[in-house]
Chains A and B, each alone.
Chain A
């Protein structure tokens, strides 16, 4: 109380109301939030809103658009390449995320054991995640090159298992699987390290108790490890789905959407139409069309996996 009155006196009569204002908790909360809200509005809400607006216009590069309602979406609805990109994006997201999770979880379980050079190994598996995407894309571009692929070289010239070089990026399905493999390689460390963090929070006493009860390794995984890391699994899954769904650099650098659009994702198609093609309205419409998928993926992984009572401090029945 003494400190308070002292502060008011120090502020002088003129600042009296200001000091009281800052002591008012709702106002203070508002002021503290303001910078963060400002950043979000300027760098997230405004561009997103602008994108949604552009999708309703026929804006082109160098020309303001006019409102044309849903025409962009109607055009996209009849566009086979757009639907192919939707299919590619879903395939890419589902397969790559599943791959990242299975391999990432496996890697996390291995790293959770007592291995020699444990810290060193944990550090080194982060490399694919740390390297800038474009650099790893260029590495994969060489690995998948039609003439200079190291994989083709191994299989044909060293081992002699094949007669012809593998057409990694020239065939539609080969190209899709090649890109998915590259994406999985890149995404594993994120999943593995996050899950490893989750694994380390599990108390060893649980495993000791299970061992005394004679639980098999599978039972220990199924009834202790898995439920205990489920909350973190949900969060990581959500992030991973979002990253994969919106991937752009890997595909753009390796195939640029080819061969004949077979690997276009919605993100790359939106860019190609909007910037090199100059059709800002149509490109925005493709980008906006990604939002429902993203919301659905987020809501699904969140509600399906994360809404457990014990996360809110209650016991799980």
Chain B
């Protein structure tokens, strides 16, 4: 690996130890292609210390390897780092408080559209993004979408978690399908047959931040509907949306009862207790089963397979994903140290083992990590490989910002689908109500 030896390591003292530990872990069999780019020489501030805030783990390896990499940063640079993990619900309020008060963690790994709330309060990351992009083969489109505002990098997307079809292979085979069809009609037919066989699908329709948003957005986008157009005009009340809602209602009729109250953890529980045969989720179900102490669950993992969500009339994949972005606020007293921290965490000596050990839970924003070992060992994991390559962003087709965040937080899309699916209102009424609610936030 020529990139390592020629680094300008003396100036910063970074990387020397990283190279050593890389040899000892021996996990990097596949080579992540790296271009030879010198490490930027931002001088680290005297007496720098860092506080880093990020979302709590969903799979255990996430926290373990994030901590390991952070400790390595401290060993190499001597900069003490205090790591804080915050629950998913409380991360956004804490980011908001830090931004409003002007004091708090130096690096915040926050939720997808958060950087767009605080554009004026964030340090410019363009130089860091340019360095990483050049070294690691460029950024995936979704990373660019979440990282930049008007051509300026305001955050460094750290990774994304996305939803795929999670299903029981043997049950799908039992009803006459080899695997999950990639078209909507086939998918609906499979779900109907699964229900008849006593292994119904189950997708969350409660106010579940991750799961319900993921599949309801996929549903509407797959049919060509969207909350807003390119100019942020509300267009949700369209015949495409109504088609989507009709399809959703037919799909809902195959679900296990009770999904309208499901929050994020329900489908994991129901799937692992063999109540449902198909759902949409991140890799966490497979991860939990595969790494379980219970031999029965490990056996179950053998039968868990993943597939892309079907493609609708629009003709391209329409999955949604949850992106996390590393931000540095203006108030941070040691911005160069913070930038080096983010850079260090994204370098392959740290990021690659992190990816490998999370077995696909997080996806890489930098193209070079396509060659990572994680995507080559287990075909079940490979299905999750291109989340940052071809997922759509939250406010598709419009721009990210306060209005899109408010609409998302108010569960406008989820509740439109839930109301229509459960038959509380007709699809037409549901779409009209969603348009009314979205217009309140997109008014100005």
Contacts and interface: CB of A to CB of B under 8 A. Distances in A.
B83 interface: no
Contact of B406 (A165, A256, A277): A277
A179 B77 CA distance: 53
Given A255-B207, A260-B419, A61 B257 contact: no
Interface string B116-150: 01100100000000000000000000000000000
Interface centre among A63, A167, A257 (most CB of B within 10 A): A63
Interface string B374-408: 00000000000000000000000000001001100
Given A164-B257, A260-B424, A279 B406 contact: yes
A175 interface: yes
A146 B415 contact: no
Contact of A276 (B409, B418, B441): B409
B257 A170 contact: yes
Contact of B261 (A62, A63, A259, A278): A259
Contacts of B206: 169-170, 255-256, 258-259
Contact of B207 (A62, A148, A258): A258
A170 B262 CA distance: 8
Contacts of A81: 437
A273 interface: yes
Contacts of A169: 206, 258, 261
Contact of A273 (B207, B262, B410): B410
A55 to B, nearest CB: 16
A60 interface: yes
B81 interface: no
Contacts of B205: 259
Nearest to A172: B424
A171 B89 CA distance: 24
B263 A61 contact: no
B99 A75 contact: no
Interface in B395-444: 402, 405-406, 409-411, 415, 418-419, 422, 424, 437, 440-441
A272 B23 CA distance: 48
Interface residues of B, number: 39
Interface string A265-298: 0000000110111110000000000000000000
B93 A275 contact: yes
B270 interface: yes
Nearest to B444: A58
Contacts of B92: 275-276
Contact of B121 (A62, A147, A258, A260): A62
A24 to B, nearest CB: 41
Nearest to A259: B260
Contacts of B257: 146, 164-165, 167, 170
Interface residues of A, number: 34
Contact of A61 (B100, B256, B269): B100
B99 A147 contact: no
B96 interface: yes
A10 B39 CA distance: 72
Contacts of B273: 147-148
A261 interface: yes
B49 interface: no
Contacts of B275: 147
A167 to B, nearest CB: 5
Contacts of B363: none
Interface in A156-197: 164-165, 167-171, 175
Contacts of B266: 145-147
Contacts of A146: 256-259, 261-262, 266
Nearest to B94: A275
B377 to A, nearest CB: 33
Interface in A18-73: 60-63
Given A62-B117, A277-B410, A168 B261 contact: yes
B421 to A, nearest CB: 10
Given A257-B207, A259-B205, 17 more contacts: A60-B117, A61-B100, A62-B100, A146-B256, A147-B273, A165-B258, A167-B260, A168-B261, A171-B260, A256-B206, A258-B261, A260-B415, A260-B424, A277-B405, A277-B409, A278-B96, A278-B402
Interface of A: 60-63, 75, 79, 81, 144-148, 164-165, 167-171, 175, 255-261, 272-273, 275-279
- For the complex of A and B, 6 pairs with smallest distance between CB atoms: A146-B258, A169-B261, A277-B409, A276-B409, A170-B260, A256-B207
9 contacts: A167-B257, A170-B259, A255-B206, A258-B411, A259-B205, A260-B260, A261-B415, A273-B406, A275-B93
